[in-house]
Amino acid sequence: MTSGGLPTLHHLNNSQSQRVLWLLEELEVPYTLVTHIRDPVTHRSPPSLHEATPLGKAPTLVTADGVSIIECSAIMAYLLKTYDTSRKFQGVGLIGHDPFLRDEVLTSYTSASVSPFTIALIFIHWGILSDNSAGKVVEPTLASMYEFLEAQLGEQDYFMGTTPGRPDFMLSWEVDFAVQNGWVELGPKLKAWRERILASSGWKRAMEKPGLPYDLTSFKKR
């Protein structure tokens, strides 16, 4: 189960595990990367992922002690607690907020509030969810969420201060998904935040890993 005392990330291309890969690159700790490639036609995860992880889910992080962890925000909490001992990614330069609360609120806001509406938007674009009878709830709700995030970012480089934190890593996936598909128009601050990420050396290193397309528009075709 262990891999030479290193944590192992089971990664799936074009998936939310990209945000964990980014965090690992920012942490600059040695790790083993196992990339699983989606079926090019069905976009489904390959048998290798199901063979390699208990639930067939990506990301799965196998710790240096051989414990398998699912759920992005939990994996990130573990990685930050274990490897970010100087707390570089836990609120450096954050102004006017309690880092603990800020992290909890914005991480949950991303995964429990923004994410279900992103999924609903996918359903609409696949033509299986009719948003008319719901009084067109999904698109305006998501737009108001992005307004909230724009305001929360304020004058900070990142949501957690001068360096990215768990909410930034979490949100990168949601924003990339929505923006690559043209589903959301970012405000100027979020736009600059996203460009800041794409230009960062940690993100670039993550994108240079072999076998790593990160084309989220493939979900559009169905």
Q: Quick one: 86 or 130, whose CB is closer to a copy of itself?
A: 130
29 binds a copy of itself (CB under 8 A): no
214 binds a copy of itself (CB under 8 A): no
Q: Which stretch binds a copy of itself (CB under 8 A): 7-15, 20-28, 67-75, 157-165?
A: 67-75
Identified binder of a copy of itself from the candidate list 88, 131, 207, 218, rule CB under 8 A: 131
Instruction: Name the amino acid, one letter, at 119.
Output: I
Both structure tokens of 183: 């589903």
Contacts made by residues 127-134, CB under 8 angstroms, sequence distance 24+: 127/222
Q: Quick one: 43 or 205, whose CB is closer to a copy of itself?
A: 43
Instruction: Name the amino acid, one letter, at 90.
Output: Q
Cβ-in-10-Å burial (0-12, 13-18, 19+) of 121 comes to buried
Interacting positions 83-102 with a copy of itself (CB under 8 A): 98, 100-101
Q: What is the dihedral of CA 79, 81, 87, 88, to 10 degrees?
A: 0
State the minimum distance, in angstroms, from the CB of residue 112 to a copy of itself: 4
74 binds a copy of itself (CB under 8 A): yes
Q: 3-state DSSP call for residue 33? A: strand
| Residue 36-55 contact track with a copy of itself, rule CB under 8 A, x = bound | -------------------x
8-state DSSP, 97:
S
Q: Which residues contact 68 (CB under 8 A, 6 or more apart)?
A: 1, 53, 54, 60, 61, 62
State the minimum distance, in angstroms, from the CB of residue 80 to a copy of itself: 11
Both structure tokens of 11: 């990664």
Identified binder of a copy of itself from the candidate list 3, 113, 162, 201, rule CB under 8 A: 113
Q: Which stretch binds a copy of itself (CB under 8 A): 6-14, 30-38, 86-94, 125-133?
A: 125-133
Identified binder of a copy of itself from the candidate list 21, 23, 27, 72, rule CB under 8 A: 72
Using alpha carbons only, give the angle 82, 34, 2 rounded to the nearest 5 degrees: 50
Q: 3-state DSSP call for residue 221? A: coil
Identified binder of a copy of itself from the candidate list 120, 142, 175, 190, rule CB under 8 A: 120
Q: What is the dihedral of CA 167, 173, 174, 178, to 10 degrees?
A: 150
Question: Interface residues with a copy of itself (CB under 8 A)?
Answer: 55, 67, 69-74, 77-78, 81, 98, 100-101, 104-105, 107-109, 111-113, 115-116, 119-120, 123, 126-131, 133-134, 148
